[in-house]
Amino acid sequence: VITFSAIIGKPLLSVLQNTSLIRIMAQQEQQTGLAGKEVILSCKDTSHQRDSTCTWKYKYKEVSSTIISFSRSNIFKGKAPMTHRSELKSESKQLKVSDLRLDDAGIYTCACNSPAVSISLHVFKLTVSSNGHLLANEDLELTLMQNSSHSQPHLSIELFNISSKIVTTEILQNEAPQKYILKLKQLKATDSGTWMCHVYSNSPLINQNISFDVKVLGFGEERLEIMYTTVGDTVILSWHLNFRKIEWKEGFIGKLNWEPQGKAAIHELLDFNVTTRQELHKTKKSNHIWFEIPEKKTDSTIEVKIPKVQLNHSGRYQCQLEINSRRIWSMKALVVMQVSANPVGPLSRGGKMTLLCQVSGPLPSNAHLLWERVNGTEMEIKKSKQHEAKVEVNVSAPGLWNCHLMENNNTKISLNYTVEEAHVWNSYAVIGAIIGASVLVIGLACVCIITGMSWQRRRKRAKRIAQAKQYLLEKKTCQCQRPQQYK
């Protein structure tokens, strides 16, 4: 006996089954819902009877159960899985299901003494890694799952960023069509905002947008930044945190470390913490007195101020954030320039001087130091060798010299040194010596005058005291001689 299925073949039988499924689905209303959200299902009552009894039923696969049955006088709640999350709108007979779950997908039927209305509910669930709270340079992983009473269709998925531009992602379809995994590599702090996942299918027709929030905690500047300065200048190193901008609600901690140039030791300059109320608290940890921490109550910036930079202040400054044992950091390198002369002082006639320009630490391959004399010739230009952090130039004539730190033919910083002739310097010294000697002579004269006047006053006072003593002595002698005359 040859069966009908054997005659038409399995491919044709599959087509007939799919055609039958499409016909069944065409007789039902199609509606989509998102897990965690709510969905409202409408009931079309064509009987228009106020006292009619209406019943909402739920069916998944072959299992059917009552959600709720109601009339004008009473309401009966059934034992369907979503009954306790369901709410009935008596006037419109609409069914509202809250906190939708993936298992709530199925056929919902409303019967009110008239032909029943069936709704096929297709539920999507989108899960975002770390609940959408990421640190900069971490990967974002999305898991999209679907469920329905019929076989799940294969989906076309597109991801749109905060600028509504399509983002290329890696899509894993090992468990498709029930489950899709999307991976996006190394998000930046600027990726924070609302993203959109667009889901599309031809059969059944699905055109669903699923929005989700992404918050990427990080710094305003994430790449290595090199700061150039000269000895004696004031420098402020700052790191801007975006926790207030993205409304980050979780607390986290952090610290600022300094690694001196050419040394393996690491010094912790300060630590800080941010509370769930977005309050930033800083504490100085190092005993170094050469840096300051500017106080700002409502700011979200970590700052270190160095009033007078020295060559030994150079190195790498690293700001680090930590939350739940996950860490990110941002690095700033401080490069300091200094110029000096050997020997120090004026240039004597016929003499020579060596000018030294140096920076702290090695230079990258695209950077170099350059000595040049102002209004000089091409012969009076000296360039450093590759990767060398200093350059020397021999000087035999007075003038103004500039040292430049060049990077890709762009001047980053400059420092000048003036070479003076010896006689000019000596004339300044003679004038200074004359002025100093004059001031010294005038000072000595004043001291002598004051001392002389004081000495004269003391001499006159001593003379008056001696005269007074002599007068008292003579008066006493006279008084003693008078009684002897009466005897």
pLDDT category of residue 477 using cuts at 50, 70 and 90: low
Domain termination residue (choose one: 311, 335, 359):
335
Domain stops at, among 335, 366, 398: 335
CATH of the domain at 147: 2.60.40.10
pLDDT of residue 328 exceeding 60:
yes
pTM of the model: 0.72
Tell me whether residue 474 is in a domain: no
7 is a domain residue: no
Do 328 and 354 lie in one domain? The reply is: no
Q: Cis omega before residue 177 (within 30°)?
A: yes
Q: Are strands 94-97 and 86-89 parallel, antiparallel or unpaired?
A: antiparallel
Q: Does one domain contain both 230 and 330?
A: yes
Q: Which domain holds residue 35?
A: 29-123
Judged by DSSP in three states, 93 sits in coil
Are 280 and 300 within one domain?
yes
Q: What is the pLDDT of the chain when averaged over all its residues?
A: 85
Beta-bridge partner residues of 322: 253, 327
Lowest mean pLDDT among 223-227, 326-330, 426-430, 482-486: 482-486
The helix (H) or strand (E) run that includes residue 304 is strand 301-306
| pLDDT confidence band for 11 (50 / 70 / 90) | very low
pLDDT tens for 348-394 read 888 889 999 999 988 888 899 999 998 888 778 899 988 889 999 99
Pair (272, 296) in one structural domain = yes
Identify whether 411 is part of a domain.
yes
Mean pLDDT of all residues in 153-169: 94
What's the pLDDT score for residue 70?
A: 85
In a domain, 478, yes or no: no
φ, ψ (nearest 5 deg) of residue 10: -65, -40
Split at pLDDT 50, 70, 90, the class of 466 is confident
Query: Is the same domain home to 199 and 135?
Result: yes
pLDDT-derived band at 203 (thresholds 50, 70, 90) equals: confident
Quote the number of domains for the chain: 4
- The predicted pLDDT at position 49 comes to 61
Are residue 146 and residue 201 in the same domain, yes or no? yes
Q: Say if 106 falls within a structural domain.
A: yes
The CA angle 419-425-428, to the nearest 5 degrees, is 140
Q: How far, in Å, CA of 135 to CA of 279, rounded?
A: 19
Residue 76 buriedness (CB in 10 A; 0-12 / 13-18 / 19+): exposed
Please answer whether residues 94 and 40 qualify as being in contact, where contact means their C-beta atoms are separated by less than 8 angstroms: yes
pLDDT of residue 265: 87
Single residue among 217, 248, 273 that ends a domain in this structure? 217
In this predicted structure, what is the pLDDT of residue 150?
86
Rounded to whole angstroms, the Cα distance separating 276 from 84 reads 34
